Amino acid sequence: LPKRGFKTLNKNLTAILNLSKIQNILDKTENEIKSTLDLKILKDKKLVNKKYLKLKILGTGEIKKALEISAHFASKQALNKIEKAGGKVSIIKK
């Protein structure tokens, strides 16, 4: 097998967002994002790259707004903080 120019076929294309990043997105786009957030909305608003296939939410930071998030993965800390703010997380199984 060649040592140079080899590209792996098994790519992990997961966008990783912390709660602090989500809060910054909400602050910048107050009127555009109402109450739901998912990977399609993030791609449409050009906040994440189009190459990502999955979304992972991590619990670093705080979130102030009640928000319904659809993601493929979420940490326990992120789930607790979102529910504490009055939001809801839907885990997508594929």
Kindly report, residue by residue over 10-63, the tens digit of the pLDDT.
678 899 999 999 999 888 887 777 788 999 999 998 999 999 999 999 999 999
pTM: 0.80
First to last CA, the chain: 33
Kindly report, residue by residue over 51-87, the tens digit of the pLDDT.
999 999 999 999 988 899 999 999 999 999 999 999 9
pLDDT computed for residue 25 by the predictor: 87
Q: Which residues of 51-82 are buried (b: 16+ CB within 10 A; e: fewer)?
A: eeeebbbbbeeebeeebebbbbebeeebbebb
How does residue 2 score in pLDDT terms, banded at 50, 70 and 90? low
What angle separates helix 19-28 from helix 76-84, to the nearest 10 degrees?
Answer: 40
